[in-house]
Structure 1
């Protein structure tokens, strides 16, 4: 009970800080938008204290020590336009979700449980559908750079620990010098959650083990959004699917080529939400509760599957047509939400 009380007190404090910060953000949103050349509803933020950081202040990108045994996962919203690449810390994520945003572009949500990189980014803004997606985890920590003004109250009420540059501990966020704002905001994960919570925090419903029987040999798969595309190419040498985005190989700032052990192409309903960006474009809502078809790529093969998520507090089950669970390969999982 004491722990619950402390969490509630912490959330209340964050809400009060965000309320103060939001007033300042509203006043400067248009100016910041024009200076940054931003085309979505993101609100470019510094580290919350009006400071930027030179390259000499950036941490190296080696992984943190062994994971802990308790605590929430860390979910980070990551920028994915060309100006934001290469990203940092993406290869260390246990799970990467790819979702559609305004203008048919894409954005990533990277989920960390078994290890924490020294830095992650560039960090960008949250969307309404993130709240539904994150309900499957126990009070996850969401790192994001801001959100549409009317969405902030929903984030405050959601059962998660929301950590923007305005609410996070000092030094958790910093501005790099390698990219122009708003594509240069980075996070030091250990400043938010201390240590990786461990695999038990990944309450996604995913099952890992031997591949199901059958499947079709697959060398490459491309998933298209209106203004973005993801390509996954099987590499026997890496025993995984090499990731490319918009026709360019996905490589981190450390020079690591990102490869997923399992790729899930999950066909979902993508509808209009009640929110818009600063240009008036509607923010798509990706509906992750429900059921539909999917394809699971692993071990150089593609497996037809059905997905089902009964409620927001549940993980997602993937089964074959006869109800047999589809096991994933051990390692990083990418889930690409494609329009049904």
Structure 2
């Protein structure tokens, strides 16, 4: 049975079996034809989605970008094509995103904004590139100290970034993602971040998952996103401040997995909040109209986040895209049946 690359090995025959990282991404020589084709294709799994993919198509780095979430920055470009998005608290009770693209790379992404002190801890495990518009010198230095290739609008004179005429500044910086990928194609693909199961990974009664139709998350008085389960489409649909959250194509932002993490805020940088990412805390995984409670842990900047159920088992995600809501402990989270 051929499974390969992106450092993944599918264990066992069950649809709920986890994916385990392996040190060798080389496909085996006995690749089998897919469908009617006589051309062998090495199968793999997209490392940031857990979905089946062509091995060769996954052999490129990811691009993480600091994405604006100001009202004047909406709708964001290619937000529904992300693999993983983190939402974080910034100044004034607003939020911004660290969005990561890999399995479905768009030609452009944005609007790109400035870096914050928690972003090195969020982005480092993915490797590849990080795009942002600039930031306070101390935060830029923190990001440049990571192994990531930094793509910085303020320092760029090579045409990687442009300003969109139809958008108001400073919410108008767009990254040419295709060109960024072309220039950095030799970088390694991102490693696996999470454990994936089947399409209903919370079905095991031992996980004590509860039916969920709506997830409500309060970051501050200014930002309170929510998610509604769409059973027909098998996705969560996102709203912000009570209105549907749309991308630049006019589609409502959606996710297969919604992860809610309760996080502490470090105020050592004055008015700039730093989400504490290295540590542990309470977490919920919402998949397929269910929510299971557990904990999250992250041992170091370079380490992935680990989700564990209350019974000690791994909390698995369903194959597909994921949004991770980093809700401060001063905020609130509710799950409606």
Query: Is 2:124 aligned against 1:129?
Result: no
**Cα offset, 1:174, TM superposition:** 1.3
Residues 117 and 169 (structure 1), Cα distance of their counterparts in 2 relative to 1, 3 Å cut: farther
- What is the match of residue 255 of structure 2? 260
Report the secondary structure of 1:192's partner residue: helix
| 2-structure distance, mates of 1:253, 1:157 | 33
**Cα offset, 1:77, TM superposition:** 0.7
Residues 236 and 196 (structure 1), Cα distance of their counterparts in 2 relative to 1, 3 Å cut: farther
Query: Is 2:98 aligned against 1:104?
Result: no
Aligned with residue 204 of structure 1, among 182, 193, 196? 193
Query: Is 2:176 aligned against 1:176?
Result: no
Q: How many residue pairs are counted as aligned between the two chains?
A: 269
Unaligned runs of 5+ in 1: 1-64, 277-281
- What is the match of residue 247 of structure 1? 242
| 2-structure distance, mates of 1:190, 1:69 | 15
Query: Is 2:133 aligned against 1:145?
Result: yes
Query: Is 2:218 aligned against 1:224?
Result: yes
The structure with more strand, counted as a fraction of residues: 2
Query: Is 2:318 aligned against 1:329?
Result: yes
Query: Is 2:301 aligned against 1:294?
Result: no
Output the aligned Cα RMSD. Answer: 2.3
The structure with more helix, counted as a fraction of residues: 1
Q: Is the 8 A contact 1:73 1:196 kept in 2?
A: no
Unaligned runs of 5+ in 2: 1-53, 330-337
Report the secondary structure of 2:217's partner residue: strand
| 2-structure distance, mates of 1:127, 1:66 | 34
**Cα offset, 1:156, TM superposition:** 2.3
**Cα offset, 1:132, TM superposition:** 1.2
Q: Is the 8 A contact 1:288 1:309 kept in 2?
A: yes
Give me the TM-score of the superposition, normalised by structure 1. Answer: 0.74
**Cα offset, 1:90, TM superposition:** 0.3
Worse overlay, 70-79 or 198-207: 198-207
Q: Is the 8 A contact 2:62 2:189 kept in 1?
A: no
Q: Is the 8 A contact 1:113 1:202 kept in 2?
A: no
Give me the TM-score of the superposition, normalised by structure 2. Answer: 0.74
Aligned with residue 215 of structure 1, among 209, 232, 235? 209
Residues 111 and 199 (structure 1), Cα distance of their counterparts in 2 relative to 1, 3 Å cut: farther
Residue deviations 1:107-136 (CA, integer Å, cap 9, x gap):
011101111112111111111110111221
